Structure 1
Amino acid sequence: MKYIKTFLLIGFIGAVLGGIALTGIYFYIKPDLPSVAILKDVRLQTPMRIYTHDGKLISQYGVKRRIPVTLQGTPEMLQKAILATEDNRFYDHFGIDPIGITRAFINLVITGEKSQGASTLTQQLARGFFLTREKTFIRKIKEVFIAFHMEAELSKDEIFELYLNKVELGHRSFGFGAAAQVYYGKKLDELTLAQIATLAGLPQAPSVLNPISRPERSVERRRIVLLRMLDEGYITRQQFDEAASAPVTAEKHGAEIELDAPYLADIIYSEMVELYGKEEAETGGYQVYATVSSELQQAAQFAVKQNLHDYDERHGYRGAVARLWPADSKKSAAADADNSPQEECIQPAIYPYWPCTVTEDQLINSLDNVGAFGFVFPVAVTSVAEQTFITRDVMGIERTIEWEGMDWARPFLSDARQGKSPEQASDIVAPGDIVYIREQEGQWRLAQLPQVSGAFVALDPYNGAVQAIVGGYSFYQSQFNRATQAKRQVGSNIKPFIYSAALNNGYTVASIINDAPINEWDEATGVAWRPQNSPAEYDGPIRMRVALGKSKNVVSVRLLRGVGLDNTIEHLTRFGLDKADIHRDETVSLGSSSHAPLEIVRGMAAIANGGFLIEPYFIDRVYNETGEVLWQHNPVVACDDCSAESDTTNDAVMDPEQDIEALLAAELNQTLPAPEKTQEVLAAPRVISAPNAFLVADMMRTAVRANGSWNKKTYWQGTGWRARNILQRTDLSGKTGTTNDSRDAWFSGFSRHLVATTWVGFDDMNRQLGRAAYNNPLAKRNPDRFGWMGNAMVGTESGAMAAQPAWIRFMQVALQDVPEEAMAVPEDIVRVRIDRTSGKLTRRTDHTTLFEYFLRGTEPTVYVLDDEIMDPAEQEDSTPDVEEIF
């Protein structure tokens, strides 16, 4: 009894001193403990994900990969595997496990080493959120107190769910949802038992137990997990045997990118960083939905890349990008057969006729150094026959390139000259060449990485929502976004804005302007200024509609002079063009100013939507990690009164240049369905009148079609006539643009609800787009004589030749299921019959006349006299040349 009393006394004193020490330690470390509020509002560091408007994943930003899961959404087998391995008494203890602590203490006394832990799931979670992995007593004490905090403030299920999402599992994956994606490319409910056991074994040491870095250690750890599940009765012996013997199937998977649109993703990422800061944007779990749809974005990317390849093939083949051995050491198969050096090779070559130094490793390294971009990837030429050659890629896959996939490859001499067409494959490639190939319409083709650049952007003209954007051939080759950052001379793409200024200053669509050469001495420079048409052809007196359709340069200059330079510049700024970028001289009428494609398409949208300046935007809405809407874009909308119906009528738009017989047969009083009523939102500022926008848009319709009658000799073509010819629609407006020496090529155009601009040029502004000679193989595979597909076109590169095909390809997809919808005719617009040549009123109803639109009060009041009428059909020299037409 004496000893018992002594023992109890010592125990009591020890407990009191321990309690005092523990209390002292608590108050000592209390300032470092997290608050209860933090414990209740723990946020997972979840990456930002960017989606298309229709929910396709574009990109993911953030170092830590995390896919949040709920406890209810986690497979029961995974829950049991984790509990059996890490904390089988989790639902019974109060944050710390006395049995586990006792076991660890005994091990410490016996071995003198802190080799065993006793951490519960709650302690592991506390350490993961607030502490480090260092094995010190003070860290362990902090861990215990935080665990007590968490058990007091959170339920067991809440703690377990946080653990499932927080624990680090290797390869920058945090949480089991992310680990399933990183290691297996699966969702949790798709995992096998062997894969579940592998993941459940990772928390102990993710860097050395993961199945990618250390597969052998991973198999051992998996067996331990399965044994504990077997001991707890969670699985049967048969399940254990099957899972324990299963092969390692893990390999590294990235985010499940459904649409690779890096230029768009980069724009949105930058905007999110500007809004929230880099760290918050990358870890706040934001789910950002773009304005673009996956279908239109994909169509734009294909259109730009294919168009640049078309340009490249027109201008010739620049040769192999690299060689596996110097040209002078090249050997033929026959030579090697007579005098094979293979016996002297320490490591034999892949093919017997290659130099023995060319090994598998050298081939792989050489191909890796070249890299793959866009549509193209590198291969090595392994053998060459008469009109075929065989290639090998980095994976060892061999492909045969047939003659039809390489016969385009005449030598590139300069941007304006190409060599003779090849006659056999050896004229193009040789064994040991590293070349690019690409697939087109199921056929493998010799290719090259385009040196020319391009950009594309499409908008909803009524609210500014970006529908597609492409900043170049490959973001991984160049991150410079030419759609938003490249200010390039716009050429004739400026003319619709110039003509709008003219309409605002007393001109009409039928005004007669003299299309004649200008030769003006400039005293300041001592040089005569002689702006020229392209081509250098002059029609004399010409109506404004025809001048815009044919893109007459001297008419644009004369219109600027009639309006005045200051008035013109002021009018250009109405379309959102920066005044600082606009040249203060008459060359501005020819597009000497430089603007980004996004600026130009915004200006064109004001013409398409009836006169309103919208604001382009890329982000439609933002959600947090729990799916709550944090932000929804509220755009300014093209409407005078957003709560009222449109102030325009629904009269059908007619083609003023259509043959008069067909025009008279048309239903002039056809009505169109009214646009859907816009919800009450912010109204965009009106910058030009509705009649002004309508008249410019209607003139632009004649720029993208053939006009008049061939039989009556009133036929003429707009510079962008291929748009109507290929798309077979009458509701399109557009304008080509080409700068001096063809350094920049543009095309901008729109239907009623979609406006798009495309640009092509070299990043080196001194380099010209040049010209292409006739290429017979390309022409044969483009049987339509218009050669609209791009690589078969001939002549000096221009907006119609270099840029417009991308616009057409995009619109083929965008408008495929969209019915034609003519632009509504404003109430103040009247239509009268005029003489085709003079623009005056006429009483005739034959091919010398046409219907034309005018702002009410500006229509002509004088009738043409009989002796003023010119009948094109009676003019012998008025018939266009076939070459000019086709």
Structure 2
Amino acid sequence: MKKRVIKAKGWLKKLGKIKWFKIKKIKVSKNLALFCVSVVILMFGIGIIWLSSLRLPDFESFSDRKIINSTKIYDRTGKILLYNIHQDVKRTDIAFADMGVNIKNATIAIEDSEFYNHKGIRIKAILRATLSNLFGGNGTQGGSTITQQLIKNTLLTQKVTLTRKIKEWVLAVKIEKVMSKEKIFEFYLNEAPYGGTVYGIDEASKTYFDKPPIDLTLPEAAYLAAIPQSPTYLSPYGKNKERLDERKNLVLRRMKELGFITEEEYNNAKEEVVIFAPQVIGNIKAPHFVFFIKNYLEEKYGSEIVERRGLKVTTTLDYELQKKGEEIVKEGALKNEKDWGGENAGLVAIDPKTGQILTMIGSRDYFDEEIDSNYNVATAYRQPGSSFKPFIYATAFNKGFMPETVLFDLPTEFQASCDAYGRALPGRSQSNCYKPDNYDGAFRGPMSLRNGLAQSINVIAVKLFYLSGLADSLKTAEDMGISTLTDIGRYGLTLVIGGGEVTLLDMTSAYGVFANDGVRNPYTGILKIEDVSGKVLEEFTPRPREVIPKNTALTISDILSDNVSRAPTFGLNSMLVVPGHDVAVKTGTTNSNRDAWTIGYTPSVVVGVWAGNNDNRAMKKGGVAMAGPIWNKFIGEALKNLPKEKFEAPNLSADPKVVKPILRGSFLGNENFFIDKISGKLATINTPPETVEEKIVTNVHTILYWVDKKDILGPAPENPENDPQFRNWEIPIQNWWASNRYNYRITTSAEKPTEEDDIHTELSKPVVLIVKPEKTTVYRPDEKIEIEVESSGPFPLQKIDIFINDLYIESFNPNSKFYFTPSDLDNLSYENELRLISYDSAHNVGEATAVFYVK
């Protein structure tokens, strides 16, 4: 028992220690809790004081609110005002009863379906926003009610910060306490932005549908309710109509889910085609360009700064050139409409040395109500037709092909699942076969790449596209400025004759790389942007970058400016000729003449023209007939005030002993040998270039027989038949050769000599001895000095070139006498070297030197 008592006492002692520790810990926890509560109470008090300091605004003054600082957009001189963004602001307040049920329901459905249930804010939305901001968000997560949006649109800045958001929440709650839901909604619909200078539902309804809001149909109301989320991006007059359609359908779906409309009403409204009223704008110059700039400003700086902060924007636009361009485009488009069924046209002009946009014309007349004239075709997606071909050719030249390289323009099937005659193989679909025609339905047989590009031959281009590689060709186009062909999986060989979609602005800019010797300057419309205080926010800075080799660019320019090479297609006096100027130009036409392009340039300016119908209707003519006259007339005007520059000639030389024949223009074969034309034997290192003749063994095949497209300059492929295109290219070529071989001289390998040139050897070179001038004589500067030589060799001398101190003086016949006077020469000193290079009748070359003195 005693032991147990002792143990019990020990246990009690330990228990006392534990209780004391716990009591101590509880006291610390209570103190910490009291401190935290005190901090919370203090912060709450500060918050209450801050919140109570917020004044409730006088909402009756909304209609009198003015925008003080308006952004102004100028031409490149900074003197001609193109547009004052808020000079034509439209806002008219109307009563809630006059707004109509459709726009009210549509707005509630898409913006705030709990509007009539909350007290100004949605707690769940705020919590969601707060958690997002705390855990990886950017501090600007939304969740705005209509009441909050009203606050944001009227009283607070558009810059989204946590502080501004808290103010927005507090003011929303306070307003809900003193104002009815109906009044809040009325203010919201009277203040909401609907794009450009249009504010409030009354002006929006009249601007876009020419009717009061109460008469809006269900789909019309859905469109208007869709716009305030992003008024510029979703403008019915902008280039994002598909996105607006998607959001309109979202509005209708939400209305159906909330029971505002029936399933039948939803379906009918979704399918109904809504016609927007033509855009009407007040005092504005170069409207398509102005809205292109405005869109850029809003994307970079935000709509609030553009709408309210009074920016001064100096653009790159040459307004005098713009005015001439607008006249030319309108005149040309109206003529096209009358003659060929193409009612619209657009034009872009860029300085390739800077990338500055000089002219942008997005339609024949921005204010023409007969067509969709507000739509900017300069930035619209259109198929380029053959105007895309230069990017393929540039890729090919980068890899080692040359303008002289020959491909066969013959009927060719390019789908490996079809035979060479365009018939689907067993089990394959006929619809997949692809056998393109040329513009005239004719085929020309062997054809150089120079002629293929200049004459815009489709079969040559498709073959070259395959040889150059789709991925590499698209990379070239992208590097040069084509931004729309990003999904490489969408495209096949049809892309080379216009299967993708590009913009006129991108195409014109990309051609500027050819004009600027391979150097890209990204297009820009901005010279300078200043805020209301004069602080420069942005200023043009050149950003040149070489994206293709200079010689490749010069080669393309050389071909596109070759009027003789393109004459078989266009004639010698076509609209592609600008008398007195060195101009490179390419046309493009899509299937059924739906798009007509002409893009051309000098080193000083690049001009692109598109002509056609916005709705993609077919026309009677294509590129040179529709876009050519507009392009020709405009570039002629532009060049009047530009320096007359010529393209630098490219280096098109190729060493025949290094570059294989098939790349240098031979299509009869690729195996070669060289003979001396005098001896008839194999040429050696001593055989002069003048007497060397290349012989190519006749062995006609598709280029795929000789060239591995993965290594153009390398050896021929060991198994060319493994290429999936080989058979379909080879069969038509063999058929052509069978019918045409008798028109060509056949060279066989048996004709290759077995002996080497013995006319041109070291021993056969002429030996010349300089007799005069004499080394032992010092000549006077005014003394007449004779050059006398003695020679020996198997062949008589034909000519001697004279050099004194490495300066060429003259050539003379060794059978005649030659004299010179030292004082007539500028480069003489006391001691001088005379060098004679002699040529005999077999083109052997000898050399002799001597020293003479003049004092």
In the superposition, the TM-score normalised over structure 1's length comes to: 0.42
Larger radius of gyration: 2
The higher relative CO (CA closer than 8 Å, separation ≥ 6) is in 1
In the superposition, the TM-score normalised over structure 2's length comes to: 0.44
